[in-house]
Amino acid sequence: MNDTKHTWPIEAEGLVKTYRAGKSVIRAIEGIDLAAAPGQVLGLLGPNGAGKSTTVKVLTTLSRPDAGHAIVAGHDAVREPDRVRRAIGVVGQRAAVDLEATGRENLGLQGRLYGLDTRAIRDRSSELLARFSLTDAADRIVKTWSGGMQRKLDVAVGLIHRPQVLFLDEPTTGLDPEARADLWAEIGRLTADGRTVLLTTHYLDEADRLANQVAIIDRGRIVARGTPEALKAELRGDAVVVELQELPTDGHAAAALDAAGLGVATVTVARPSLDDVYFRHTGRTYRPQAQEAA
């Protein structure tokens, strides 16, 4: 634990990052503030291009921010990147596994880079392979594995050194529903041992299911934050969906409906979803499919 430093595993303030593309300047993130308490799963939710990955790159020391500062696992990500690197695990957007190596060899190289000895690597690899149900494939070349298996190995590689803080950047993008559900179960278990997780996703259901804190990011800024429940509760009340057989000529639905003698087909009472939260804070509906195609 980091009690001595009295810092949370993730503390970021005013992070700004711009890129130059020819003559124009792209502002990827414009003042991101984030904090995650120990053992928390913080979901960073937003469409592609919102700034999720840039935020993760800055927090994981991959990219230097233009402004702002970030403390990760008790260390400054800009001034002490090496200390941060020792304490974090990073699982990027693509399964960054070595396709020509076996599962065990992938885990082995990563373990070596964190200074684990041969025995520690062997034991920890076996433990992780068993945990992700990859033991049978462990000594096969990863090229022959399914996408879901490669992704699970990717997560296992990120865990080899028991990181205090784990970053998962869109962990289930591109997986089929079965592999996705499978990985969700694994991610759910990751926090059981008190690890702090930052998860980015553009799937609302994923954030709703896995995160106990959600920050909604839109065009480089955090537009809302809180627990999924609190965010939904802010919308005050349930959404009532009424399907009518005919369109009434004037407003005031429910009471007027009977009086007007309009036949009600169905009435659905729905708890507000994160979709509704997203719509309220960004003024746009959330369509990850459309975003992906863009």
Name the residues that contact another protein, by CB under 8 A: 1, 19, 38-39, 57, 60-64, 82, 85-88, 90, 92-101, 105, 109-110, 112-117, 141, 157, 161-164, 193-195
User: Which residue in 90, 93, 92, 70 sits closest to 80, CA to CA?
Assistant: 70
DSSP structural state of residue 185: H
Say how many C-beta atoms besides its own lie within 10 A of residue 198's C-beta. Answer: 29
Query: Looking at beta carbons only, is 74 or 272 nearer to another protein?
Result: 74
Place of tokens 């537009």: 223
| Nearest approach, Cβ of residue 237 and another protein (Å) | 39
Instruction: State which residue, 88 or 274, has the beta carbon closest to another protein.
Output: 88
CB of 12 to another protein, least distance (A): 16
Q: Let me know: does 197 contact 166? Beta carbons within 8 Å.
A: yes
Cα gap 187→198, rounded to integer Å: 11
Question: Which residue lies nearer to another protein by CB, 1 or 25?
Answer: 1
Smallest gap, in angstroms, from Cβ of residue 41 to another protein? 15
125 and 134 Cβ atoms separated by less than 8 Å: no
Q: Which is nearer to another protein, 1 or 259 (CB)?
A: 1
Is residue 291 exposed (0-12), middle (13-18) or buried (19+ Cβ within 10 Å)?
middle
Q: Considering beta carbons, is residue 149 or 231 the nearer one to another protein?
A: 149
Q: Per the structure block, which two tokens stand in for 143?
A: 């090229």
Which residues lie below 8 Å from residue 150, measured CB to CB, with a gap of 6+?
95, 97, 142
Q: CA-to-CA distance for 40 and 119, rounded, in angstroms? A: 31
Choice between 60 and 282, CB closer to another protein? 60
Min CB(50)–another protein separation in Å: 17
Q: What is the closest distance, in whole angstroms, from the C-beta atom of residue 100 to another protein in the complex?
A: 5
Pairwise CA distance, residues 256 & 254, whole Å:
5
Nearest CB to another protein, comparing residues 195 and 225 = 195
- C-alpha 8/C-alpha 57 separation (Å) is 19
**d(C-alpha 34, C-alpha 225), whole Å:** 9
